[in-house]
Amino acid sequence: MTEITGYTLITIGVLFDVFGCIGLVRFPDVYNRLQAATKCVTLGTCLLLAGVAIACGSGSISAKALVCIVFIVLTSPTAAHAIAKGAYSFGVKLWKESVVDMYGEDIDNQSQEDSSTKGA
Amino acid sequence: MRRLVYFGLGFVVWIVYTWPFVDGKIDIQVLVAGLIASAVVAVLFHEILPKEHYIFVSPVRIFWFLVYLPVLFYYIVVANLDVVYRALHPRMPIHPGIVKIKTNLSSDSGVTALANSITLTPGTLTVDVGEEGVLYVHWINVKATDIEETTKRIGKRFEWFLEKVFE
């Protein structure tokens, strides 16, 4: 019974990973792609590890798998945030049909204020 | 106090990772190595670890954190179904954009937790943390650009819990 539950979880996890990769290929710009990559890969990999933990029963493997879940949930969004900010600072534009870009507006305002104070 | 908390935390992680309980016996060598390793970590790195060490020893905060986990898990599942729907839909129904939201959280750990939660939940990805509790969020399906409306739609559902955990 534990094996069936474990393998079911692993299957669902791999499916989410696959859908995340499809999103990664189909979405238009780096920010949308990061959305697909972080969300689906986080849940997919966590389900996969949870499946491993359940299938292996109690013991060292399950304990390590559960700790890995914690670390993935902590680090994956942080890495996505770092990539998104890095891409923006590098000058990667948003998709051409994007609706608003308040981040860019604020950066422009900031630099205008800086240059005006420097000019004065 | 802070070093002690991180010493204990590091030791727990060490035990879970090395799992020294073989055949009902405890491997003393592994435990001693773990004590030394966590002591070194606690003494050398306590300054770069989160300043809010009291979170790990306060039962009330841990309780609210445990209540928060299922809520977060629910939103993660919803987020995944949302992404799968948008990725597989032939016409790709996305209206992306970067909006601002405002948060009342003041501690570094709290803002980090909020930003990470936002990244893991439906259609949103934190791009940057600005001054005065402003977060810049990439939203895959922009429904509002007004700062109060976006805060209500994106941030409020977590802030209530995170305030109890981190503030």
Q: How many CB atoms lie within 10 A of CB B41?
A: 19
Q: How confident is the model at residue A14 (pLDDT cuts 50, 70, 90)?
A: very high
CA distance A3 to chain B (A): 22
Beta strands in B25-156 (DSSP E): 25-26, 97-102, 124-129, 134-139
What are the pLDDT digits (tens) for A17-47? 998 888 888 888 888 888 888 888 888 999 9
What are the pLDDT digits (tens) for B76-124? 888 888 888 888 888 877 788 888 888 888 788 888 888 888 888 877 8
CA distance B148 to chain A (A): 14
A to B CB pairs, distance under 8 Å:
138
Contact by Cβ (8 Å): A40, A27:
no
Q: For chain B, what's the residue count?
A: 167
* Domain tally, chain A: 1
Asked if A101 has any chain B CB less than 8 Å from its own CB, the reply is yes
Asked whether the predicted pLDDT for residue B41 surpasses 80, the reply is: yes
Asked whether the predicted pLDDT for residue A114 surpasses 80, the reply is: no
ipTM score: 0.79
Asked if A115 has any chain B CB less than 8 Å from its own CB, the reply is no
Has residue A116 been placed in a domain? no
The closest CB to that of B94, out of A32, A67, A100, belongs to A32
Phi and psi torsions of B124, nearest 5°: -130, 150
The closest CB to that of A32, out of B96, B99, B117, belongs to B96
Q: Which helix (H) or strand (E) holds B87?
A: helix B59-88
Share of chain B above pLDDT 70, in %: 100
Domain ranges in chain B are: 2-49, 55-166
Q: How confident is the model at residue A11 (pLDDT cuts 50, 70, 90)?
A: very high
Nearest CA in chain A to B12: A67
What are the pLDDT digits (tens) for B135-152? 888 888 777 777 777 777
Q: How confident is the model at residue A117 (pLDDT cuts 50, 70, 90)?
A: low
**CB < 8 Å from B in window 22-81 of A:** 22-23, 26-29, 31-32, 34-36, 38-40, 42-44, 59-60, 63-64, 66-67, 73-74, 76-78, 80-81
For the entire predicted model, the pTM comes to 0.80
What are the pLDDT digits (tens) for A35-83? 888 888 888 999 999 999 988 877 778 888 888 898 888 888 888 888 8
Q: How many CB atoms lie within 10 A of CB A120?
A: 5
Q: Which residues of B touch A37 (CB under 8 A)?
A: none
Tokens read off for A13? 């996890």
List the helix and strand counts (H, then E) for chain B.
6, 5
Nearest CA in chain A to B92: A27
The predicted structure's pLDDT at residue A119: 53
Asked whether the predicted pLDDT for residue A118 surpasses 70, the reply is: no
- Which amino acid belongs to residue B44? L
Has residue A56 been placed in a domain? yes
Has residue A117 been placed in a domain? no
The residue ranking higher by pLDDT, B145 or A11, is A11
Has residue A41 been placed in a domain? yes
